[in-house]
Amino acid sequence: MGTHIDAPAHFYKGSWRTQQIPIERLMGPGVIINIKDKAVRDPDYRIVMDDVIAYEDKYGRIPDGSIIMMNSGWFERFPDKNAVFNTQNVSDTTTFHFPGFHEDAVEWLIFNRHIYAVGGDTPSFDYGQSQTFPVHILIGRENVIGIENAAYLDRIPESGSTIFIPVVKIDDGSGGPTRLMATYDDGTDSPANSAELPQIALTIILFTICFGFVRI
């Protein structure tokens, strides 16, 4: 699978299927949580509340409706399956080792920051060692979108971008491929000319990885 979303219905019956997601939910402020150093030391790392608190200490309160993205540096391992799943046996899910989110942090973000989507640059926002997928179930229940196999997160600022998740509108889908995009202001819009619309100075693609492997 390349870059794709899990619709809320992916792990929670009755939640939004792909074509039911309101279009307004497919965009929001980009929040990039960088755990690259931690992921090098511990491939089973999960983003916890301390990471969220550290982000807000640095960049201010996470806006409602944000798109939360983990930047673990993992995308550089694509498309090598063994490197991505960090195992010698890609058919045995119990051997997977890659970072993700702890459900407690995601639950806090859902109920206190009303996020629209959560995901990152690994094959799953539940970490590789998960066998119960608590984050998948939680976000499904709360109609939050999941994002997997994103890339080039280094190319956008950790705060201040707008991320778009324009999933293909597959009828009755439980997910679908997305051409993940982000825009941000490059700062050329000064107060002197601020009555005009700020220019969207740079658009980047969060890399659609083009290959297939085990679906999570």
Kindly state whether residue 93 participates in binding a second copy, applying the rule CB under 8 A. Answer: no
94 contributes a contact to a second copy by CB under 8 A? no
Cβ atoms of residues 65 and 129 within 8 Å = no
Residue 199 within binding range of a second copy, rule CB under 8 A: no
Question: Is residue 2 involved in binding a second copy (CB under 8 A)?
Answer: yes
* Site residue total, a second copy (CB under 8 A): 32
CB of 80 to a second copy, least distance (A): 17
Min dist CB 29 to a second copy, Å, is 10
Site of tokens 């490059």: 186
Q: Which is closer to a second copy, CB of 54 or CB of 201? A: 201
Give the HSE-up count for residue 176: Cα atoms under 13 Å, Cβ half-sphere: 21
Site for a second copy in 174-193 (CB under 8 A): 177-179, 181, 183, 185, 191
- Would you state the structure tokens that stand for residue 90, as one six-digit string? 């890609």
| Stretch (H or E) spanning 139 | helix 134-141
Query: Judged by CB under 8 A, which of 50, 58, 88, 171 binds a second copy?
Result: 171
Q: How many CB atoms lie within 10 A of CB 3?
A: 23
| Residue 99 neighbours by CB under 8 Å, 6+ apart | 35, 38, 39, 42, 43, 44, 45, 46, 47, 70, 72, 74, 120, 122, 127, 128
Using the rule CB under 8 A, which residue among 70, 106, 150, 167 binds a second copy? Answer: 167
Biggest CA pair distance of the chain: 59
Report residue 81 CA to chain centroid gap.
Answer: 20
In the complex with a second copy, which residue's Cβ is closer, 134 or 177? 177
Binding pattern to a second copy, positions 126-165, x when CB under 8 A? ------------------------------------x-x-
CB of 78 to a second copy, least distance (A): 13
Helix (H) or strand (E) holding 47: strand 46-47
Binding site for a second copy (CB under 8 A): 2, 19, 23-24, 26-27, 162, 164, 166-171, 177-179, 181, 183, 185, 191, 194-195, 197-198, 200, 202-205, 208, 210
